[in-house]
Amino acid sequence: MPLDALFLTALADELREALTDARIDKIQQPERDTVLLAVRGRQGACRLLLSAGTGDARCHLTEAAFENPASPPMFCMLLRKHLTGARIQEIIQPPCERLYDFRLLSSDALGDNVEKHLIVEMMGRYSNIILTDASYYIIDAINRVDMLMSEKRQILPGLVYRLPPQDRRVPLDLSPEEFCALVRAAPVDRPADRWLTETMAGLSPLVAREIVFLAGGDTDTPVGRFCDPGAMRALSEAFFSVLKRAQSGAVPILLTEAGGRERDFTFMPIRQYGAAVQCQAQESFSQLLDRFYTRRARAERMRQKAAALLKTVKTAHDRVLRKLSAQREELAKTAGRERIRRLGDLITANLYRIEKGASSVTVEDFYAEDGGEITIPLDPLKTPQQNAAKYYKEYAKLKNAEIMLTQQIALGEAELEYLRSVLEALERADTESDLADIREELAQTGYLKPQKGERKPKRPESAPLRFRSDEGLLITVGRNNMQNERLTLKTAAKTDIWLHAQKIPGSHVVISTNGGAAGDKTLYQAAVLAATYSQARGGGKVAVDYTLVRNVRKMPGGRPGMVTYTNYKTCIVEPDEVLAERLKIK
């Protein structure tokens, strides 16, 4: 993620506006590497999140909800002792460093003012939250670093805090002439974007690629292409324009792919991806980070909690797949049954010509178009009549096998479709209620054993997603098979409109028409929702079928959510998570 020094420069201005002279009222540590400060400043009460997580280190205002441990960790108790009631005097960001230094004014046991520093380092696996005194002697850190962990820099109580070692050039200290001199000295075959990240402090790969793109119209360009005076000037201008943008005129930008999947964030519009990625301006840098990381963390938590269910369903899915493969092989073997019957017919028609004890007989094949002869193997221990009966018996066996295998394959394919729909629902599950629904469904269908112990009180039915079209009609979307079945077969009116992605697992979508008609725009938006909440949500164009609810029937003997439908029409749309988010009823 491009939480580089330039992004932090833009974010720092926003934090200074909200937090300068703010008072720290409450301190919590909801997770091992996360601290939450409840502060009150010129803009009212707010919460500041500090994270030293390896994959999500950050610092921003947040509205996300966190569950705190029953007993606060020792580092949290230490922060409360030193910082409760402290005021934020200044937020310092050393040039092109991925860290903030919060200079705080608090009171000691005697009521005298004392200065403290709370430093948040956002540097991947080296991230940390460090408390020091006014002279930068370390009081403690959320991640202590001893000599065994790092020979270059230790973070331990009693040591003096030092900035992280820096072996790259600080972009803000360079003049255009110095920058061009560095370009001329660079290896000509080195990719220009990699040279920028290796030479300049504080640049993310995304921003480095954008600089190269702005200078030459392509991200995959070696340094040698910029040795020409005109090209070098273009690279220099692009480089310094990006630096200037970070210092003034930065805009919080969320980068989303087709279908609305969130890809990245940055402080300026990005052009290198062309139409493949959209740049969505957000209200603030804090709101941008809060949205991006909260959604990612929620998705990760749900993936972890769904892991056991996912394993159960995938195991069943793979078992059915193997069984179907074996059954199809067996079915293929029944394809020659008619030839077996014909051999029996030919033996019966030539009984008078077959001598007892013969091992074969050559007869005229009246089934063949050319009327040629055919040699039929015989069992010399059997009579001619018994040999004919043997072929008829083998034919009957193959015919019965075909009937049974065809039925079993149809059942297996239906089960496979059902299991794929459960997998799709698990991938989309974003609440505990969603997982509880799926767990209950798997227990009812026999894939999970009912939990032993006391009988739990009946859980209230979970609610499907609700949307409002631009024409004002309610659109309801099931989140799993249990909801799909309730929505379509119990809740929806017969005159409502039902939609579903064609021939792939996905949500049932219902437009509540209240006995009237749905406009084209509502139909289109509902179809987009059907595509977005389907297995094809990450792809391109999706066929969506729609019909009246009265034309939808539960599949005979089918599992939850499995239906058949008639009198339908089809439209082609593309998934769009941005539209889905806009239409969702919060």
Q: What is the 3-state secondary structure (H, E, C) of 233-296?
A: HHHHHHHHHHHHHHHCCCCCEEEEECCCCEEEEECCCCCCCHHHEEEEECCCHHHHHHHHHHHH
Q: For residues 550 and 488, is the Cβ–Cβ distance under 8 A?
A: no
How buried is residue 391: exposed, middle or buried, by Cβ count under 10 Å (0-12/13-18/19+)? Answer: buried
The stretch 500-517 carries a mean pLDDT of 94
d(CA 361, CA 348): 12
- Identify the CA nearest to 37 among candidates 14, 9, 60: 60
d(CA 511, CA 514): 9
As a whole-number percent, the residues of the chain with pLDDT over 70 amount to: 97
pLDDT of 454 > 50? The answer is: no
Q: What pLDDT is attached to residue 38?
A: 97
d(CA 220, CA 203): 17
The mean of the pLDDT values for the chain is 91
With tokens 């798997």, the residue in question is: 442
Q: How far is CA 123 from CA 50, 96, 246, 332, in A?
A: 13, 12, 19, 60
Written as six digits, the tokens of 37 are: 């400060």
Q: How far is CA 468 from CA 293, 359, 523, 582, in A?
A: 27, 79, 12, 9
The residue type found at 316 is A
The stretch 38-56 carries a mean pLDDT of 93
pLDDT in tens, 166-178: 889 999 899 999 9
pLDDT in tens, 145-158: 999 998 889 999 99
DSSP 490: I
- Identify the CA nearest to 571 among candidates 517, 485, 497: 497
The residue type found at 179 is F
| Spans of all domains in the chain | 5-141, 171-302, 317-421, 465-583
Written as six digits, the tokens of 438 are: 């799926």
- Identify the CA nearest to 360 among candidates 347, 340, 378: 378
Please name the fold of domain 5-141: ibrinogen binding protein from staphylococcus aureus fold (2.30.310)
With tokens 């006995």, the residue in question is: 515
pLDDT in tens, 120-143: 999 989 999 999 999 999 999 999
In 3-state terms, what secondary structure has residue 80? Answer: helix
Q: What pLDDT is attached to residue 109?
A: 79
How buried is residue 112: exposed, middle or buried, by Cβ count under 10 Å (0-12/13-18/19+)? Answer: exposed
Written as six digits, the tokens of 545 are: 């079928």
Regarding pTM above 0.75, the answer is no
- Stated length of the chain: 586
Q: For residues 120 and 102, is the Cβ–Cβ distance under 8 A?
A: yes
Backbone angles phi, psi at 147, to 5 degrees: -65, -35
With tokens 């909690």, the residue in question is: 305
Backbone angles phi, psi at 185, to 5 degrees: -85, -5
pLDDT in tens, 379-423: 999 999 999 999 999 999 999 999 999 999 999 998 998 999 999
DSSP 540: S
Q: For residues 414 and 505, is the Cβ–Cβ distance under 8 A?
A: no
- Identify the CA nearest to 87 among candidates 72, 105, 99, 100: 105
pLDDT in tens, 110-120: 888 999 999 99
Q: For residues 247 and 96, is the Cβ–Cβ distance under 8 A?
A: no
Quickly count: other Cβ atoms within 10 Å of residue 410's Cβ: 10
DSSP 111: S
Please name the fold of domain 171-302: Helicase, Ruva Protein; domain 3 (1.10.8)
- Identify the CA nearest to 503 among candidates 545, 559, 537: 545
pLDDT of 217 > 70? The answer is: yes
